[in-house]
Amino acid sequence: MNAADLGLPVAVPSTALFTDQYELTMLQAALRGGTAERRSVFEVFTRRLPEGRRYGVVAGTGRVLDAVENFRFDDAVLAFLRERGIVDEPTLAWLADYRFRGDVHGYPEGEVYFPGSPILRVEGTFAECVLLETVILSILNHDSAIAAAASRMSSAAGGRGLIEMGARRTHELAAVAASRAAYVGGFDSTSDLAAGFRYGIPTVGTSAHAFTLLHDTERDAFRVQVDALGRGTTLLVDTYDVAEAVRTAVEVAGPELGAVRIDSGDLLLVAHRVRQQLDELGARSTRIVVTSDLDEYAIASLAAAPVDAYGVGTQLVTGSGHPTCSMVYKLVARADSADPAAPLRPVAKKSLGGKASVGGRKWAARRLDADGVAEAEVVGTGPVPAELAGRQMQRQLVKAGEVVAREPLDAARRRHIAARAGLPLSAVQLSRGEPVLPTEYATP
């Protein structure tokens, strides 16, 4: 099922109010000043990666496309703006007919990025582009942060299963977006049914400690669960005594028991003991799933443990310490008049404190070394050098207001796996480091 078939999972009539008030007050002033229709180019980029991170992950692109399509000022929204006196009547009349009719180019979802990478480029009139700033940034900053954390955890897991289970640790709608971003970053499944319904992500889940505590004995709880869900279910074995629970679990379900879950204690030690016990009881194919406040470092520390899958919650949905990517949306070029044929000229913010921007409509390409491994992110304006023409990063996502690059979520997931594999090996090190690729600026 395509997300566009369902509409956005929000309890508001449109995405138009997912914005800051100053977007609308700028619009009103630009309409009055006669500059609103000037052709403009905005770019999304980040000046730096979160401290110690070696690459970023683009996620949320598909949600951005949905949000742009649903950015409409319907009667209820216009009435709210009128009642609050946020903008004047001429501006309200303009908003009533608002449709984004410009172009969007960007890094495809799942791709990696670096400081200065022009992740998204939005082109159109100033008026139609400036309104989209907040909703675009809110989606990309959140989803890319989650996907980056997921990617690091996926690398640390070394091919073992990863379950996203952070819904109870974040806002209910953010949980759905986080599940989607985690899947792009390498997770295999989610506990969140809304994410499964909306995006087709595989869902998993069996029981919590409350289910065991509900019954008079642990054996009773296991028997009821196996009767209801089958021998392939996952039994939670750390409510009381782990060794006794494992013995009981195999007695109830037999050697066909699907898995046991461990949610507390010294996971490295307990996993080894449980594996040995399962094997001795003949349950050699029973898998071991561990949970309990895991992050990429905890997952890496369990590399030598006989663990088959990890369930991750809090650290994943909060970006493992970096809940945003600090992406910004800046005007980088604009025309001097409303004439559609007027040439664009670069504009840039000049500021102290590392907040300056680079003007000009940019392209990006990834240069490879002789072995086909990425060695630099090249960003420039003007003509693209012939040797980089086939390595350009941006693709057209929206053309004249129409989405032209919507794709299945699995495509973004596969793209990320390939993009990460194309980076130098040091990219997947968990130790703090600089971006694995330098960003080079090419001048025309």
Q: Over the stretch 232-250, which tens digit does the pLDDT of each residue have?
A: 999 999 999 999 999 999 9
The domain ranges of the chain are 3-145+322-442, 206-292
pTM (predicted TM-score): 0.94
426-436 per-position pLDDT tens digit:
999 999 999 99
The reported pLDDT for the residue numbered 113 is 98
> In whole angstroms, what is the distance from residue 183 CA to residue 164 CA?
8
What's 206-292's CATH class? Answer: alpha beta
**What is the model's pLDDT at position 353?**
65
With CA atoms as reference, report the closest residue to 108 among 405, 408, 378, 380: 405
Q: What's CA 55's distance to the chain center, in Å?
A: 14
Residue with tokens 């009642």: 83
**Which stretches of the chain drop beneath a pLDDT of 70?**
1-13, 352-353
> Among residues 393, 428, 341, 412, which one has the least CA distance to residue 152?
428
The residues with which 31 forms a beta bridge, in sequence order, are none
* 362-368 and 374-381 strand pairing: antiparallel
Q: Is 441 left (phi over 0), alpha (psi -120 to 50) or beta?
A: beta
Q: Which CATH code fits 3-145+322-442?
A: 3.20.140.10
How far apart CA 214 and CA 224 sit, in angstroms, is: 11
User: How far apart are the C-alpha atoms of 254 and 276, rounded to whole Å?
Assistant: 16
Buried b (16+ CB within 10 A) or exposed e, 27-45: bbebbeeebbbbbbbbbbb
Q: Which pLDDT score, from 0 to 100, does residue 1 have? A: 41
- In Å, how far are 241, 355, 376, 384, 388 from 442, measured between CA atoms? 63, 20, 12, 9, 11
What is the rounded CA–CA span in Å between residue 305 and residue 312? 17
Nearest C-alpha neighbor of 333 from the set 60, 135, 38: 38
